[in-house]
Amino acid sequence: MPAKPRPASASPVLLAFGGFCALAAAMGIGRFALTPVLPFMSEAIPLSAYEAGLIASSNYLGYLIGALAVMAVANRGCLLNAPDTYMQKLATGPEGIGVVSLAKTPTENVHALAEVKGRKVSEIAVVVLERDRHRDLVAELRGAGARVFLISDGDVAPAIATCVADSGIDMVYGTGGAPEGVLAAAALHCLGGCFQGRLQWRSTEERERAIGMGLKDPDRHLEMGDLVQGEVIFVATGVTKGPMLDGVRRVGDRLHLQTMALRASTGTRRLVETTVRADRFV
């Protein structure tokens, strides 16, 4: 009796993409589910009315600023195994390659980028996380004449935007999470952008732990090739509406998601519209 043909197995990338969209949908719904459970959280922790209000406000602030669910896929060893610490970051579009550097001052960098782009310094837009540690950086950038935009969270999206011609963002500067830095580098690797980083240790123990993870020189200036190499697929799905992607939307019994997919080997950038059954997640 002839053997029945085996069904073709699904591509690992498609499986990962499907799971990723499901995660984004769940995150989008979960954001709205937080406030109703706050009273129970207040009883269990406990939280004061003021503290609970801050949590709810922060949650809805996240709704306004355009949260993303992101994923980068590469062969083993091709993405830096970044420890959970801070990273000083500098990101620009392709024009910044060989022009900007963390070895230069912020003033030198904005002037150099303005020159290579054929613009005035006052036309260079720099995104910086709004943190106390960035007060001197912001003051210097503004003193140099650049336009500075402060954001509350999430420096991956603006880093990607430096490679989008009509985004209005030329540079991302400052210190944020190291794992997010690797994700941003993966996206810019696909888009041909410029990314540099330097790990910022909060303690000697944290630095020693990173050496144990395989970082031979934990204080070195990290170029793009130190952070990401070879073929990379980067995917970002909008959880809440932002400047690049729409957030999760419910229309009837379907959830609608918008995803950007990048591939390093081809330089491809795709926008993908996906719908899923809402009852799978609600």
pLDDT tens for each residue of 182-234: 999 999 999 999 999 999 998 888 888 888 877 888 888 999 999 999 999 99
Q: Is 185 part of a structural domain of the chain?
A: yes
Domain identity same for 122 and 185: yes
Count how many domains the chain has: 2
- Across the range 129-133, mean pLDDT stands at 93
Q: What's the confidence (pLDDT) of residue 229?
A: 93
Domain identity same for 207 and 243: no
Most confident option among 40-54, 88-102, 151-165, 167-181: 88-102
Domain identity same for 143 and 46: no
Q: What's the confidence (pLDDT) of residue 5?
A: 52
Domain identity same for 101 and 62: no
Domain identity same for 145 and 35: no
Q: What's the confidence (pLDDT) of residue 68?
A: 82
Domain identity same for 42 and 163: no
Domain identity same for 245 and 195: no
Domain identity same for 134 and 212: yes
Q: What's the confidence (pLDDT) of residue 232?
A: 93
Q: Supply the mean pLDDT for the chain.
A: 81
- Across the range 96-113, mean pLDDT stands at 97
Instruction: Quote the domain boundaries for residue 123.
Output: 86-229
Looking at the chain, the whole-number percentage of residues with pLDDT higher than 90 is 47
Residue 151 tokens read as 């954001």
Q: What's the confidence (pLDDT) of residue 49?
A: 52
Looking at the chain, the whole-number percentage of residues with pLDDT higher than 70 is 76
Domain identity same for 143 and 252: no
**Residue 154 binned pLDDT confidence (cut-offs 50, 70, 90):** confident
Domain identity same for 63 and 90: no
| Among candidate residues 187, 208, 229, the one where a domain is terminated | 229
Query: How far is Cα 205 from Cα 31, in angstroms, rounded to an integer?
Result: 35
User: Buried b / exposed e across 78-114, counting CB within 10 Å, b at 16+?
Assistant: bbbebbebbbbbbbbbebbeebbbbeeebeebbbbbb
CATH, residue 189: 3.40.190.90
Q: Is 81 part of a structural domain of the chain?
A: no
Domain identity same for 207 and 90: yes
Q: Among positive and negative, which fits the CA dihedral 264, 175, 238, 22?
A: positive
Calculate the CA dihedral of residues 278, 28, 126, 56 and round it to 10 degrees.
Answer: 150
**Residue 45 binned pLDDT confidence (cut-offs 50, 70, 90):** low
